[in-house]
Amino acid sequence: MKWLVLLGLVALSEGIVILPLRKVKTLRETLREKNLLNNFLEEQAYRLSKRDTNIATHPLRNFLDIAYVGTIAIGTPPQEFQVIFDTGSADLWVPSITCQSPACKTHNTFNPQNSSSFREAGQPVTIVYGSGLIQGFLGSDTVQIGNFVSLNQSFGLSVKEFGFDGMPFDGVLGLAFPSISIKGARPIFDNLWSQGAFSEPVFAFYLSKSKPEGSVVMFGGVDQNYYKGELNWVPVSQTRHWQISMNRTTMNGEVVACSRGCQAFVDTGSASIYVSTEMVTNIHKVMNAKLKDSEYVVSCDAVNTLPPVIFNINGIDYPLPPQAYIIKEKSSCLSAFHGGLEALSPDTWLLGDVFLRQYFSVFDRENERIGLAPAV
């Protein structure tokens, strides 16, 4: 793929943990907690109707099924930016006008001098992602997402960027828990929540398949037009990233991975699905995938014969059909499964957009749970 976006899994504290695309370093925390709050609010119906006036639906543009990008505005008067709404990180940043990195020359940059509401915090920041990092400084200003306005919002301004050349977005808007945000900076969702912007502190994603238009992120509730059936609720197993417990992964009725349970990060900032090399090898054996130039190639005809990969999460099966996990690119077809997470944890998955295109997802901060239902 031209871009292999992997934004999530940021750890910012006294040290920085870097998660490259193919080889990762160990996080300083245990990711093996399983089955926490297993029955927590399972049967509770969602309280907001789809007509609630405090639900704001914000359009996202699907860039070649690689990244879902939306528009925000920062400053007075507003300066517009294209950002990824990323559940795998917690910070907001955009390029500064003083940034000289090649990536900044092809993206919109923020000019603090042109905003009467900007305040500089004077704090240097470094934010590390799976696909790169940014270095810069912290500031605050008014940030607008659709009709929502976050006052005195902390955000990073990059002066150096690495790994973001050619990306179809200017910056990143993190939606993970505040425990992994920059010290002293409140994430934008938490800031809006404290300012009373939402009837309910939730956000949700509908990610379109193939077509550029139609994808949305919604705040304050859910719109039932975007999914079928009922939402199944999964408790968050750790309130840093949006992390949940999985029971097993099967193909053709046989367990191919996660046989004793595992953990998964639900990450809108990652294009594909990532897991340990051992587990992805088992899946690729069933697919008869062949390694070529660091990608696993699959017969394009196999999309009609291969079984779904079934993720069992909290007792519910979530099938991923071959039409979803086989990616057509030019004259070849590639697997959407990638290895390399074993250094993070041998039983950890990263469920990116390949999974989330199939399932409408709701992120409930107040009740610390994720809702999943088949997308329309």
Q: Is 131:169 a contact under the CB 8 Å cutoff?
A: no
Active site residue 141: no
Opening angle at CA 189, ends 185 and 191, nearest 5 = 55
* Cα torsion angle, 66, 234, 364, 92, sign: negative
Give the Cα separation of 327 and 352 in Å (integer).
Answer: 14
Distance CA 197, CA 192 (A): 5
Rounded to whole angstroms, the Cα distance separating 365 from 201 reads 6
**Cβ–Cβ < 8 Å for 92, 178:** no
Omega prior to 78 cis, within 30 of 0: no
Decide: 140 and 79 in contact? Cβ < 8 Å.
no
Beta strands at 148-162 and 92-95: parallel, antiparallel or unpaired: parallel
Verify whether residue 165 is a known catalytic residue.
no
Which residue out of 141, 190, 223, 267 is catalytically annotated? 267
Cβ neighbors of 26 (< 8 A, separation 6 or more) are 17, 343, 344, 345
User: How many residues make up the chain in this entry?
Assistant: 376
Q: Is 132 helix (H, G, I), strand (E, B) or coil?
A: strand
Burial of 184 (0-12, 13-18, 19+ CB in 10 A): exposed
For tokens 């039409």, the residue is: 323
By the 8 A CB rule, do 78 and 144 touch?
yes
Which are the contacts of 121, defined by CB distance < 8 A and separation ≥ 6? 137, 138, 139, 140, 154, 184
* C-alpha to C-alpha distance for 66 and 120, rounded to whole angstroms: 33
Catalytic residue among 65, 86, 190, 223: 86
**Please, which residues bridge with residue 335 across strands?**
326
Tell me how many degrees the CA angle 225-229-235 measures, rounded to the nearest 5. 100
Active site residues: 86, 267
